[in-house]
Chains A and B, each alone.
Chain A
Amino acid sequence: MSLHARLVVDRGRFRLDLPLDVAAGEVVALLGPNGSGKTTALRALAGLITLSGGSIDLDGTEIARAGHGLPPERRRVGVVFQDYLLFPHLSALENVAFGPRSAGASRAVARDRAAQWLARMGLADIAANKPGRLSGGQAQRVALARALVTNPRLLLLDEPLAALDAGTRLSVRGDLRRHLAAFDGATVIVTHDSLDAMVLADRIVVIEAGHPVQDGSPAEIVRRPRTEYVARLAGLNLYRGNADADGHVMLADGGRLTVDDRVAGDVFVAFPPSAVAVHRERPSGSPRNVWEVTVVGVEAHGERVRVELTGVPPVAAEITTGAAAELDLLPGTTVWVAVKATETHAYPA
């Protein structure tokens, strides 16, 4: 039940060109900002858009090519839509039974299978409710059951948790992960939320402006981001520069950093804001990365404070509220930052 595709779609001035391979049982997240083309990719996989080029192979059978492809109803592709699109005039049970009945099962058999799936999701007691009377979390699970009951070979999820509030999202995310693990087909999740991607996916494909820019496991993506976007998602400071053999990196946008990793040539350098220490005066001692910066803005994140600083290079620091109070950080104040070389991470660009 593996997916082997190259999705090429031309839409006016925008062009999607995305190779995508997903093994059976694997969960791949398509991560990208709005307008990056990830929804287009999903609709092409589902058969709701025609490809302009490339092809889609599912289980060794070609289901789409440039200009034509199987219609959605013949593709064995299950979709969980962003607003779930549960049929408002049917109960939860009838919604889930819709797929089997469309495939020709009798009403009794279809309802039976639907009931089993709803029970598996812990929704047996709301089976008779219409979608209008379901909570966000319940609706999401009904939508998932509705897609899975048809035994699809490829499962597509479009921003599966976007419609939920923060609290529900937490519990639903965990449930969803379990269900996806139990599904033996290929799964593609489209999302702009990095946390969803990292929790739910085995592999992340980062897509920007219609092209893939990074492909790897969640850990890899976070440790070695290759674009601003991903770095921002991971909350990291990211720079690009040229490293010499001694670990000195001349940054492309100005400044110099010393790193521990022995890499040479074109490199990325990344470190988390928590690795940045902020001082009133120039500190002495071991850190080999010390430079003067100016405070731009200060933001509280719970018990931590995130400080945006400009300088050569600019940097974001995360310190305790106590430390922030002591330093008396006002926008425009000049301070010094220090980053230990051991806390930086350099890798080839």
Chain B
Amino acid sequence: MWKKRTVGISIAALAAAMALAGCGSSGKTNASSTPAAGTSSSASVTGTITVLAAASLTGTFNQLGQMFQTAHPGTTLKFSYGGSDTLAAQITQGAPADVFAAASPATMKTVTDAGDANGTPQNFVKNQLVIAVPPGNPNKITSLKDLTDPKLKVVLCAPTVPCGAAATKAEKAAGLTVKPVSEAQDVKSALTPVELGEADAALVYRTDAKAAAGKVDAVEFPESDGAINEYPIVALKNAPNAAGAQAWVSYILSPEAQAVLIAAGFQAP
């Protein structure tokens, strides 16, 4: 019967092809990577620098990226924003990136534990939660306790995302439980329903509420002091542009960048 023989040959050929392809790219070898311990060498930094950053850093990092590119002609910053837990998972699964800036030490720990960090992460800002409400605060929300009202639609970040973890901490500190209608994957997605008027409140960072000023109002609450998130940043071990990675990390820690971050509502580390 022709069937068995020919199908057998085909599968063997396919397997051989796959084996050959497999030999090709097993892990990255970066002959050109410089070892750790970053001293900035601004003169020699060129090329693309890929940065994975927490969603709450969107506005500020974009602005800082422009400034960096002006100061270092020939460089291009590429940002990928998202929930820090998602980004950490991507890194441990081999996503090619130069720098990781997380919104909590816990999510950064995922990366360092997997051995994907180049050196020790450094905290560069802190962020604090506020309650975002529609402009004019129509439901007259003044405290965390108000969010427990069952008639209100509240959106929180998922507990595995740093802002969600901070929210949980704040709730514990206040001895309350807030029941959300939805758990967002990153802080920007938590804010959107409030901006659209579909949700009555969301627990987001002060920086996000500030960035969306006009579309939302921010309500401070005392329990957020007990749940401040520290933001660590680190260059990655398999960075395609190791020099660029170090340069960016140093830049973020510099006074110039810090001024921009503080102006946006972050707190000094």
In the complex they form, whether A and B have CB atoms below 8 Å apart is answered with no
